[in-house]
Amino acid sequence: EVQLVESGGGLVQSGGSLRLSCVASGFSFSGYWMSWVRQAPGKGLEWVANIKEDGSEQYYADSVKGRFTISRDNADNSLYLQMNSLRAEDAAMYFCARDVGSVVTPFDYWGQGTLVNVSS
Amino acid sequence: DIRVTQSPSTLSASVGDRVTFTCRASQHIGNWLAWYQQKPGKAPNILISKASTLESGVPSRFNGSGYGTEFTLTISSLQPDDFATYYCQQYYSYSRMFGQGTKVEIK
C-alpha cells in the first residue's frame, strides 16, 4: 500500500524557517518525481515545487523561488521542503504528492498534509 | 509558466443534472491534463489523467475530453457524493500548475 506521511508543520514567526518532511512507503520512491502542494485555508491548490527521481533537477513556483528548497533522500525514502523567510501568505496545509515516474499519472497519491502557520 | 484557467468558479446543480466544467491552458499542452476532486478536509483525489483517461475506481459518469488548450470535465448525472471542488492541472511542463477550482454546490 502506497503511503505518504508528512511532518514538520507548526507555528513559526514571520521571517522564520521550517523544514517539512515526507516519508514514502509502498512503492519504489527513487523511481518517481515528487512534489509539494499547498492549500491556504479556504483557497485552492497551489503547486509549490517538485524534484526529479535522482534529485538532479528541482522546479519551483514563482511565489517560493529563492526561499524554499526541495530535496530528497532516496536511501531513506524521504522528501523534504526547507522553507526560509516565511511570510504570512505561506500559511497553509502542505501536501506531498507522488509525481510522475514509471507510472505516468501525476499526483496519484497524496499525504494527509501538515499545517504551517505563520505569525506576524 | 503554463497557466490553467477554470470556469465557472462555482456551479449550483441538482442530483441527476449533467454538469460540465472547462479548463483552458495558456499554451498548447497536448493531452497532459489531469482532473482532481477534493472534499473538505481531505487531500485531492485524481479522477482523470491524460485529459480523458479515467483512473481506476472512478465512476463512469465522469468524462474528460479536450486537447491542446481547451479541456472539459463532464459529470453525466450528478450524484450526492459528487458535491465537491474540482481542479484541473497541467503536467506538460515541470511546473505543475493547478486551475483555481470549480466548486459544485447543491442547488
Cα dihedral: B14, B107, B104, A43 (round 10) = -170
- The distance of A35 to chain B (nearest Cα, Å) reads 9
The predicted structure's pLDDT at residue A56: 97
Partners of residue B55 in chain A, C-beta under 8 Å: 105, 108
User: How do residues B16-47 score in pLDDT, each as one tens digit?
Assistant: 999 999 999 999 999 999 999 999 999 999 99
Beta carbons within 10 angstroms of residue B50's beta carbon: 15
Partners of residue B91 in chain A, C-beta under 8 Å: 100, 106
pLDDT-derived band at A120 (thresholds 50, 70, 90) equals: confident
User: How do residues A6-49 score in pLDDT, each as one tens digit?
Assistant: 999 999 999 999 999 999 999 999 999 999 999 999 999 999 99
The predicted structure's pLDDT at residue B99: 97
Partners of residue B38 in chain A, C-beta under 8 Å: 45
Whether the bond between B59 and the residue before it is cis, its omega within 30 degrees of 0, is no
User: How do residues A98-109 score in pLDDT, each as one tens digit?
Assistant: 998 877 888 999
The predicted structure's pLDDT at residue A105: 86
pLDDT-derived band at A65 (thresholds 50, 70, 90) equals: very high
Say if A114 is an interface residue toward chain B (CB within 8 Å): no
User: How do residues B39-81 score in pLDDT, each as one tens digit?
Assistant: 999 999 999 999 999 999 999 999 999 999 999 999 999 999 9
Which residue's entry shows cell 491524460?
Answer: B50
C-alpha cell, A119: 505569525
Of A37, A106, A111, the CB nearest to B49: A106
